[in-house]
Amino acid sequence: MTAIALVHDHVPASAAPAGWVARLELGFEREASRTVLAARRHVGPLRVQKPLYPEGADVCQVIVVHPPGGIVAGDSLRIEVDAGERAHAQLTTPGAAKWYRSAGPIARSDTVLRAGEGALVEWLPQETLLFDGARATIRLRIELAGDARFIGWDVTTLGRTASGERFESGCMRQTIELLRSGTIHWCERMVLDGGSGALQSGAILSGAPVFGTLLAAGGDVDGGVLAACRGASPVSGEGAVTRLPGVLIARYRGDSAHAARTYFATLWRVLRPAFAGREAVMPRIWST
């Protein structure tokens, strides 16, 4: 599966924030055999509650919460995560991030994930749901130092498919960047215009309303791990796995966000022992 479209991530002046401005900054540190949430700061409606340790002291899990439950015209959200040397942080969300219809201002979300030497960050959010007419700019930037590791994914649904809605208007600009020691290892920029003929192209989405990308960087993806990943398949839709120098990339396109998440979680179970030296433990929030 190929990149959708390459564009410059330009936001017009008219897209200046007019809604909620929310910021969340988290700092994880390694203290002996324990990873702790050493620093947290939030502004506006974006926060985490208490850190969780479902796997013991080594892995600190947090659930990122956006209390309004949806993102509207002009909202600006920014999440910054810093995992210090040898820390292991896992972040997830309680539900889909809903982006509502906008007749004017663009809403924006920026997520920056940083991992220090020997650290591991797992970014395991539930899907992004764009309502028909949503206008969104979404950016994910992963910055790894030295031998830091990362496993994470992004899943997007265009329109409320359960009610038959399609993404007939609006726009989405998305940027995903992976850097190691300041050098870009993988970058994708794409633009999706609601109702455009390009969304029906077999080279892009082939009419599928759901697509996603999984990235895994820094772990030991040997031939056996790669074969196991390529042997997995989604229950519906299409999946594909590519290994590039320093990063494994998996793609999904289809008609089900659940199928996309389940497919990526299956790959995560395969990859995690190589990246973390431990089996995957599903976040409890996914079952609620």
Q: Give the pLDDT confidence of 93-103 residue by residue, as tens digits.
A: 999 999 999 98
Tens-digit pLDDT profile for residues 175-200 = 999 999 999 999 999 999 999 988 88
Q: What is the pLDDT of the chain when averaged over all its residues?
A: 91
Kindly tell me if the per-residue pLDDT of 3 is higher than 50: no
Which of 10-24, 53-67, 71-85 has the lowest average pLDDT? Answer: 10-24
First to last CA, the chain: 32
Query: 7 lies in a domain?
Result: no
Is 89 inside any structural domain? yes
pLDDT (tens digit per residue) in 142-188: 999 999 999 999 999 999 988 889 999 999 999 999 999 999 999 99
What angle in degrees, to the nearest 10, is found between the helix axes of 257-276 and 223-231?
A: 160
Is position 27 within any domain? no
Q: Does residue 154 sit within a domain?
A: yes
Residue 205 lies in a domain: yes
Beta-strand runs (E) in the chain: 21-31, 34-43, 47-48, 60-65, 76-83, 88-92, 97-99, 107-115, 120-124, 128-130, 135-144, 149-158, 171-180, 183-193, 210-217, 238-244, 247-254
| Higher per-residue pLDDT: 15 or 72 | 72
Q: Is residue 15 part of a domain?
A: no
45 lies in which domain range? 33-277+283-287
How far is the C-alpha of 242 from the C-alpha of 104, rounded, in Å? 38
- Dihedral sign of CA atoms 50, 56, 60, 63 in order: negative
Largest CA distance in the chain: 55
Domains in the chain, number: 1
Of 31-40, 193-202, 261-270, which gets the smallest average pLDDT? Answer: 193-202
Please, are residues 36 and 51 in contact by the beta-carbon 8 Å criterion? yes
Residue 12 covered by a domain: no
Rounded to whole angstroms, the Cα distance separating 133 from 233 reads 32
In a domain, 16, yes or no: no
